[in-house]
Chain A
């Protein structure tokens, strides 16, 4: 167990809807990153939050947005869902610093129909 928990574990949404995924960081960690993992692929970086601000973003459109709260938990919001958004969404927490180990949660499996 990594101490990083995500909810829900599975979710089915209809195209065009909005979704919010949640992540609780490991105790002592101040940085949260979100990744999208399509079936059979490696995780792709979406964005990272540090001190409640976005601290880097991958190649994802603005309809992917996030929040980090004072307790370092985080949310990933996706608006106007598309079929291609179906994937495993992973949250990783760490303590800021290059090379610091990132601990992943078990992920949220999102299916868009």
Chain B
């Protein structure tokens, strides 16, 4: 069945390092993916999205890479800052005609000074 999962539950980095958060998906027909950031006590916040006709998309300090061959996507955060500490989710709308999002468990990013 469809699933969106994450490889690592926790990632600890030093301030200024680059962070890479990974996500695997199982549905080869998936054509749209979203990364969300969730800070403690808040709802998920949209970071960046990517469609399956793209391999890479860049935003401000973030880059998402999509490898359709191995059904894997990653979120790269450049020059990680303490404010980036949060749980990051990849999410996928299964495309069933309405906007349901399937979330993975999440990766907690801890940034130390």
How far is B97's CA from A48's CA once the two chains are assembled, in angstroms? Answer: 11
Min CB distance, A31 to chain B, in Å? 6
Size bracket of the A interface: 20 to 34
Q: Is A62 an interface residue (CB 8 A)?
A: no
For chain B, the bracket of interface size reads: 20 to 34
Interface contact tally, CB-CB below 8 A: 69
Which residue of B is nearest A41, CB measured?
B105
Q: Would A48 and B43 be within 8 Å (CB), given that A42-B89, A98-B93, A99-B51 are in contact?
A: no
**Structural contact, A56 and B100, CB atoms closer than 8 A:** yes
**Interface SS of B by simple majority:** loop
User: 9 additional contacts, CB 8 Å, given A2-B43, A31-B99, A99-B51?
Assistant: A33-B99, A40-B105, A56-B97, A56-B98, A56-B100, A92-B43, A98-B32, A98-B93, A106-B42
A contacts with B: majority SS: loop
Query: Which of A4, A102, A106 is in CB contact (< 8 Å) with B101?
Result: A102
